[in-house]
Chains A and B, each alone.
Chain A
Amino acid sequence: MVKNKKNVIRRSREDVVVDTVVHVLIVLMLLLTLYPILNVFSKAFSSQTAIISNAVTIYPIGFQTSTMEYVLSSNLFSTAFKNSVTVTVLGTLLSVAVTSMAAYPFSKRNLIFYKPLIMLFVFTMWFSGGLIPTYLAYKELKMLNSLKVLILPAAINVYNMLLLKNYYESLPEALEEAARIDGANKFQIFFQIVLPLSMPVLATVCLFTAVGLWNDFYSPMMYNTRTQLRTLSQYLYDMVAQSGTDLTMSTNADDLMNNTLPEAVRAASIIASITPILVVYPFLQKYFVKGALIGSVKG
């Protein structure tokens, strides 16, 4: 309050100018961020004639839900949705289990072979076989065209491992020491003391892993070609690719009859696939932000 009063008294010309510029820039930023999202959202729920006549901007015109119903009930979409959920759930569980365990020994700096072992992990962040050798190896391992090719290689995430290692290191050593004196073995100490204390950072790692798997389209595109294995990103990509250079719009009578105007279907599919993230995101924002911070500042 005191500060506010002071500001009111001392609002110089510079203050007014700065405030005005800041507010204009913020509003521009908000509009620029929200317009593309609102536009697609509106197209998903607008009538086909409104879409074709380019009347839709940031609110639905001629509100209807049949396009969305068409998308949600289509086989292609539901298969892709199911695959994405499978990969995200199983992949996240596996990755967090393997990664959180791997980080534990590295929180003990006096581990024998600490340096060579951690280098073995860190090196893979900087160097990889690249697409072709990886493709050939997966082919040899009979991994192509399966959901496991999306889940198993993601089981270790070195970046997340380093986040977790740093967090374990920050826990008071005395807790582990006390448990050890009480006769607890390493597994009991890890699962009953270290992990429960690391819940905040585990939540962050879980979220990043899940979002990464949900959004990944590179791996499915490279390693899976069968329709029944398609994930949501691939399903969306196929639609984008179809529209890619074809900038004239289909006004095919059939499309109109069946509520399957490509642009509308595309919009509805986008909305359906980002809804899970949009619903969850505001509640978990603090975990996301925390992750971004421990990642970039300390690492």
Chain B
Amino acid sequence: MFKGKLKMKDSLGYYIFLLPALIVLLVFRYYPMRGLFIAFQKFDIFAGIENSKFVGMQNFQRLFSSRDFLQVFRNTLVISALKIVLLFPMGIIVALILNELRSVVYKRFVQTVIYIPHFFSWVVVATLMNNFFSVSGGLMNRVINALGGESIGFLVSNTWFRSILIFSSGWKESGWNAIVYIAAIASINPDLYEAASIDGAGRLGKIRHITIPSIMPTVVMLLIIRVGWLLDAGTQQILVMYNPVVYEVADVIGTYVYRFGLGKMEYSLGAAAGLFNSVVGLLMVLLSNALSRKFRGVSIW
């Protein structure tokens, strides 16, 4: 297949296929990056990027000396880390449970149902969850009341709000995240199970000694990739679900950039926070790619 480089004329023919995509890429992805300069300026919207005053690292100094941003940065890390620790295993657990179902029809039905929430937008999920955790008639509080407890205002509680975020995220994606592991389990050689049975292994024994070790490579690789996206705590989700009462525990970099940068027209500060986010994010993704390449011997793309 690889008969050395193509001739220039041949390559030119192929470049035509690239042209529309390149234009879109340059205009809508690369051209906006020019605006990153304003992170180092005291940006004046009337003067524009060319004529605004250069202030060096001043915006970053302001950012890192503000209590707000440090809180926001900490929230981002905490929410994201909680999501990884509590939700990353969910996909694996769901796949393991499904694998123990013997009826194919039942299994397919369950899969169909648990994949559905993945296709709802965050706005829809937020509404469903608001209902679910509502003080007036939400299922959660019904259960608490039935057990003799007092209703809890989950959505306006600094103690509970992060749990609500994590629950909602798990509700939306746990089923979907199981797909990869279901496929990985399906590709395990049945002889292994046969041999284990002969050796007297029970079902739990087979899960522990065959299923889990067999899907481990997939697990490790997906975990590395997931950790690479640590700075993405779920901006879209938080943007629709939070409210001023819980800013303290739920405001993350993405929502901060929106509220300060766009909302309060602090363009330079917002751009600085965004740039910080993008650069650290890029470094983490590159690092995790390098790790997973080393681990698996192939790159992700």
Contact = CB atoms under 8 A, between A and B. Distances in A.
B87 interface: no
Contacts of A153: 24, 28-29
Contacts of B21: 98-99, 101-102, 121, 155-156, 161
B171 A32 contact: yes
A29 B218 CA distance: 24
A161 to B, nearest CB: 7
Interface residues of B, number: 103
Contacts, number: 273
Interface stretch (A35-43, A60-68, A252-260): A35-43
A282 B183 CA distance: 19
A32 B139 CA distance: 10
B8 to A, nearest CB: 6
Interface string A96-121: 01110110110011111100011011
A131 B123 CA distance: 20
A54 B114 contact: no
B69 interface: no
Contacts of A110: 2-6
B277 A130 contact: yes
B243 A245 contact: yes
B183 A293 contact: yes
Contacts of A127: 278-279, 281-282
Interface of B is mostly: helix
A22 B101 contact: yes
Contacts of A296: 179-180, 222
Contacts of A288: 115, 119
Interface residues of A, number: 102
Chain A CB count within 10 A is highest, among B24, B222, B278, for B24
Interface string B24-49: 11011111111110100000000001
Given A130-B275, A153-B29, 10 more contacts: A33-B117, A54-B136, A98-B24, A104-B14, A127-B282, A132-B267, A233-B123, A249-B136, A282-B112, A296-B180
Interface of A: 7, 12, 14-15, 18-19, 22, 25-26, 29-30, 32-37, 39-40, 43, 54, 56-57, 97-99, 101-102, 104-105, 108-113, 117-118, 120-122, 124, 126-138, 141, 152-153, 155-156, 161-162, 173, 185-186, 190, 211, 214-218, 221-222, 233, 236-237, 239-240, 243-245, 247-249, 266-267, 270, 273-274, 277-278, 281-282, 285, 288-289, 292-293, 296-297, 299
The 10 closest A-B pairs by CB, nearest first: A133-B35, A130-B274, A54-B137, A215-B121, A102-B21, A137-B32, A105-B14, A129-B32, A153-B28, A36-B128
